[in-house]
């Protein structure tokens, strides 16, 4: 069924149907990409291109020109979106797409509307003295991590293509330039609502909320209070998303309100990282000096960000400000309960139980405390626990994950007692656990190795190999078992950086 947003979109190289460009002009600035000197296509995600109903053969031929911004496909309506945001708790009333340009939207083979955006394609009116360009390293990082998140089953933006520009970018050192093509359900953020709220533009807030409901949550149009229902649904999706981050050891690194999508997708993979040894205080981002966005802080920061969204929507909830605030507080309180439910449900699956008992939370917390004290690798320990669920002979491998293997005995006894009251068979349990406990994650040292080879030697073989193994994170892949291993002490990556 055709959406109210949708006009007839012809099949072609890019079957564009650009609904955001039909919003009022204060929502964006039209901006063509800058030209790249000598673009070269590094990677085309052919499977995703086909899903988006794009002409794959044409992209193989002209992709370097299209994805560098040198050639605009028919129907493109390039623009930079306006938004604001809280960055590390401080409000910035004007941010916007400073190095990203939305080419347009397509309707994919499943009838879903998807944005196609170039990152690093030159200056926009929101660049704030920046060059609008991206370096190759951050482009490769975002490609790797976004596709890994997709394979892990975590809602996230996708990577369609990466190109080098043939031009240097100047940061602390001279780096090769590149452009990343990102696909998203949309690029509407909490900060988009904040942009209009900061200007007292109630009409624009309502128009944006109506657009979001039509695009992402059409089932809410007939709700008794559609805007409150929208707020509740956005909170629910974020609660589920952040729980999934914690389940796979992901640390976003820069959870500013301009990096929280209304659609519920993970967006922006600059200083993000996956934990090696479990520690809830883990921080990788070079700019997160106070640990605001540490692994264990992410649920609370999500709630804080969503409270800022609620503030922008208060006039739509109820004409009575006090009543509107009461309604918003009920929803934001519910977020905490929903996050805990999603997190606990996922953690039950990670330790191999499907039934629910009151002691499950304590059992899980005891394991995490044991992992922290024993400096156990988060991913590897849970993967080995999956093997142990189906084969007692795997106990030595599991306990070897800990600095003091003998410390695991008491917990393992309680775990086995708990499993005895769960209805699954050992084989069925082990199989189910392997589907939620990945063998492979985009480990920081592997990403850095791939980036170093590409930027210094022009060698993209490590990048390609990493994409191959991460496409099947829950499979054993014995020939690639080395990619499961945590870094050696001299391979550890202690900091990650913003870049794209």
Q: Which of the following is catalytic: 17, 97, 115, 258?
A: 258
Can you say how many angstroms the Cα of residue 237 is from the centroid of all Cα atoms in its chain? 13
How far, CA to CA in Å, does 185 sit from each of 143, 266, 267, 432? 17, 11, 10, 29
Q: Is residue 258 annotated as part of the catalytic site, yes or no?
A: yes
Distance from C-alpha of 18 to C-alpha of 265, rounded to nearest angstrom: 20
Q: Annotated catalytic sites, by residue?
A: 258
């Amino acid at each position: 069924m055709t959406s109210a947003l949708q006009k007839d979109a012809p099949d072609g190289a890019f079957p564009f149907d650009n609904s955001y460009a039909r919003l009022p002009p204060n929502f964006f600035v039209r901006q063509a990409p800058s030209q790249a000197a000598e673009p070269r296509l590094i990677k085309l995600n052919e499977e995703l291109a086909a899903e988006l109903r794009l002409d794959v053969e044409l992209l193989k031929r002209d992709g370097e020109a299209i994805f560098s911004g040198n050639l605009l496909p028919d129907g493109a309506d390039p623009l930079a979106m306006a938004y604001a945001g809280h960055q590390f708790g401080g409000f910035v009333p004007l941010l916007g797409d400073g190095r990203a340009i939305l080419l347009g939207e397509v309707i994919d083979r499943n009838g879903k509307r998807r944005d196609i955006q170039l990152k690093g394609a030159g200056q926009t009116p929101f660049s704030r003295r920046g060059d609008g360009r991206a370096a190759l390293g951050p482009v490769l990082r975002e490609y790797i991590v976004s596709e890994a998140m997709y394979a892990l089953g975590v809602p996230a933006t996708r990577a369609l293509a990466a190109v080098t520009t043939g031009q240097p970018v100047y940061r602390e050192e001279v780096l090769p330039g590149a452009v990343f093509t990102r696909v998203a359900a949309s690029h509407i953020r909490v900060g988009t609502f904040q942009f209009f709220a900061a200007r007292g533009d109630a009409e624009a807030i309502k128009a944006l909320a109506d657009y979001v409901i039509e695009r992402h949550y059409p089932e809410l149009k007939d709700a008794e209070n559609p805007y409150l229902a929208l707020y509740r649904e956005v909170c629910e999706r974020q609660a589920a998303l952040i729980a999934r981050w914690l389940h796979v050891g992901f640390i976003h690194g820069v959870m500013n309100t301009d990096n929280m999508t209304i659609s519920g997708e993970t967006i922006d993979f600059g200083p993000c990282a996956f934990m090696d040894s479990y520690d809830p205080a883990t921080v990788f981002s070079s700019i997160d000096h106070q640990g605001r966005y540490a692994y264990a802080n992410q649920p609370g920061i999500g709630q804080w960000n969503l409270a800022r969204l609620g503030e922008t929507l208060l006039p739509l909830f109820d004409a009575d400000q006090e009543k509107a605030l009461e309604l918003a507080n009920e929803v934001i309180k519910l977020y905490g309960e929903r996050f805990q439910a999603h997190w606990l449900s996922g953690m039950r699956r990670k330790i191999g139980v499907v039934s629910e008992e009151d002691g499950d939370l304590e059992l899980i917390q005891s394991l995490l405390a044991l992992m922290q004290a024993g400096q156990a690798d988060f991913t590897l320990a849970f993967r080995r626990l999956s093997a142990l669920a189906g084969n007692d002979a795997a106990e030595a491998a599991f306990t070897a994950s800990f600095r003091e293997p003998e410390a695991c005995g008491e917990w393992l006894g309680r775990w086995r007692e708990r499993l005895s009251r769960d209805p699954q068979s050992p084989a069925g349990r082990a199989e189910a656990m392997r589907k939620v406990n990945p063998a492979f994650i985009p480990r920081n040292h592997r990403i850095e190795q791939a980036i170093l080879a590409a930027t210094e030697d022009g060698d993209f073989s490590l990048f390609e190999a990493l994409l191959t193994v991460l496409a099947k994170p829950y499979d054993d892949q014995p020939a690639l078992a080395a990619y499961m291993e945590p870094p050696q002490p001299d391979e550890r990556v202690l900091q990650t950086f913003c870049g794209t």
